């Protein structure tokens, strides 16, 4: 069953998924919305790197909105990669560059995420469209990664950002997002490709153990058991 993760579908007793299983008399594979699963994964990694928050807004992203007008957009610096991560970078760049070059139809947030990922990976598009921060709340699924990348890119502008103590953790989050998460997120709408997409992401996470064991283990847990975090 491929389904949206609203409570009407995922309710433990009267959810549509449970009712369908009862109707056919056996358990079915629950192929939940991959965007929802990936959102849970990103939230887990974000909390691990940047700490928990009960606020409806993301504080660092809210600060970015107020500082945006004074940022020099030409003064940015991408990721400094750990030895051995080149294969992740190459694969991500090839995939995202192909999407950009074929002018695939993607929504605004998706397009911005792809462009920001290319920039932070060291291969910015010819024309960079810097979008001013918009709605900043947890219901906007890509907000954490979009604004984390922007803050990280402009981290050298110390008069705007003071990341002395947080820069290393922010880099961990941005690196995970750029090397693994953006590609998985971009392909998530293709439900028919979800099994092979999950397998590829799982294999990448296994390889990622060598570079950030803690993040890899946390992300694997969400991919393996999203129901423990969110539903069923």
In angstroms, rounded to a whole number, what is the distance separating the alpha carbons of residues 92 and 204?
A: 11
Residue-level pLDDT at 70: 83
Strand partners of residue 3 = 32
Reduce the DSSP state of residue 133 to 3 states and report it: coil
pTM metric for this prediction: 0.84
Residue 58: pLDDT above 80? no
Q: Are 24 and 17 in contact (CB under 8 A)?
A: no
Rounded CA gap, 80 and 160, in Å?
21
Report the 3 state secondary structure along 49-81: HHCCCCCCCCHHHHHHHHHHHHCCCCCCCCCCC
Q: Rounded CA gap, 6 and 15, in Å?
A: 9
- Taking the C-alpha atoms of residue 223 and residue 232, their distance in angstroms, rounded to an integer, is 15
With bands split at pLDDT 50, 70 and 90, how would you rate the model's confidence at 232? very low
3-class secondary structure, 84: coil
Report the alpha-carbon distance of residue 217 to residue 55 in Å, rounded: 26
In this prediction, residue 216 has a pLDDT band, given cuts at 50, 70 and 90, of very high
Paired tokens of 183: 């590609």
Q: Does residue 146 have a pLDDT over 50? A: yes
């Amino acid at each position: 069953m491929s389904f949206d993760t609203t409570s009407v579908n995922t309710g433990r007793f009267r959810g549509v998924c449970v009712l369908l299983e009862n109707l056919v008399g056996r358990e079915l594979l629950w192929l939940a919305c991959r965007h929802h699963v990936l959102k849970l994964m990103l939230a887990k990694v974000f909390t691990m790197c940047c700490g928990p928050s009960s606020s409806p807004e993301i504080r660092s992203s809210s600060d970015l909105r107020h500082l945006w007008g004074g940022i020099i957009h030409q003064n940015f610096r991408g990721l400094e990669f750990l030895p051995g991560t080149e294969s992740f970078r190459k694969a991500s760049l090839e995939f995202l560059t192909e999407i950009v070059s074929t002018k695939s139809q993607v929504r605004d947030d998706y397009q911005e995420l792809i462009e920001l990922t290319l920039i932070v990976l060291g291969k910015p598009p010819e024309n960079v469209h810097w979008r001013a921060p918009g709605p900043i709340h947890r219901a906007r699924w890509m907000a954490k990664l979009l604004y984390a990348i922007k803050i990280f890119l402009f981290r050298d502008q110390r008069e705007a950002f003071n990341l002395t103590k947080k820069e290393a953790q922010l880099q961990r989050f941005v690196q995970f997002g750029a090397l693994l998460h953006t590609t998985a997120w971009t392909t998530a709408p293709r439900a028919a490709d979800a099994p092979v997409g999950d397998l590829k992401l799982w294999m990448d996470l296994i390889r990622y153990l060598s570079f950030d064991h803690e993040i890899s283990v946390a992300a694997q847990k969400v991919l393996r058991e999203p129901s423990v975090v969110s539903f069923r």
